[in-house]
Amino acid sequence: MAERKPKRRPRRRFPLRRDEAIAGGSAIALFVLLFLPWYEASNAESTLSLPESAERTAWEALEVGAPLTALVCALVLGIVLGRVLRPSWKPAITPGAAVAVLGGLATLGVLARVAFPPDLDGLIGIEYEATPTLAAFLGLAAALGIAVGGYRAMRAEGSSFAAVAESLQPRRGRPASRKR
């Protein structure tokens, strides 16, 4: 008598590609990192001990940068969730290209704030220098992860920046006829 093989259930494929998962995970990581201390105040001229509030999170130190970075994270997560909930979703701009551009903008913004830290003057009336902490560098890595994940997803979609730019150009049709 022939031995029966157990029926295998068809594998349900996860709707996200690895590239999109990298971008989404990086967006979550960057959002969480915004709440950790990004800058540490130091003063080489003074022998005073620094107060507890000498560390600043991205929300405290970056007036506009932190909300914009959080907005980028939300947009990237929205795009990734759109792909999960509707795999057949075909927007005007490919999701990978949108994520790549948003990740590039986030990377440039975070890189600028790591290279040129904000002023943390006036903690207790003494001028301090802000030094980026590990969280700032991890934030930079997460922003870069969004950009790379988006770029790889864009390439997997068979898209390019030139193709996206061409698709956004207005169509030239026949000129409207004039009534006489």
> pLDDT tens-digit profile of 36-81?
988 887 665 555 555 545 777 888 877 788 888 899 999 999 888 8
Top-confidence residue, 2 or 40? 40
Which residues are registered as beta bridge partners of 164?
none
Residue 171 forms part of a structural domain: no
Inside any domain, residue 174:
no
- Domain contains 12: no
- Cβ contacts of 56 within 8 Å, gap of 6 or more: 37, 38, 39, 41, 120, 130
Over pLDDT 90: what percentage of the chain? 23
Query: pLDDT at position 154, please?
Result: 87
> For residues 145 and 6, which has the higher predicted lDDT (pLDDT)?
145
Report yes or no on 134 lying in a domain: yes
In the predicted model, what is the mean pLDDT of the chain? 80
Domain that holds residue 142: 18-42+53-158
Establish if 77 belongs to a structural domain. yes
Q: What tokens does 112 get?
A: 């600028």
Average pLDDT over residues 79-105: 84
- Is the residue at 83 inside a domain? yes
Q: What is the mean pLDDT of residues 22-40?
A: 91
For the chain, the domain total comes to: 1
E-state strands within the chain: 37-42, 55-57, 129-132
Is the model's pTM score more than 0.95?
A: no
Kindly state whether residue 165 falls inside one of the protein's structural domains.
Answer: no
Residue 121 CB partners (closer than 8 Å, separation 6+): 127, 128
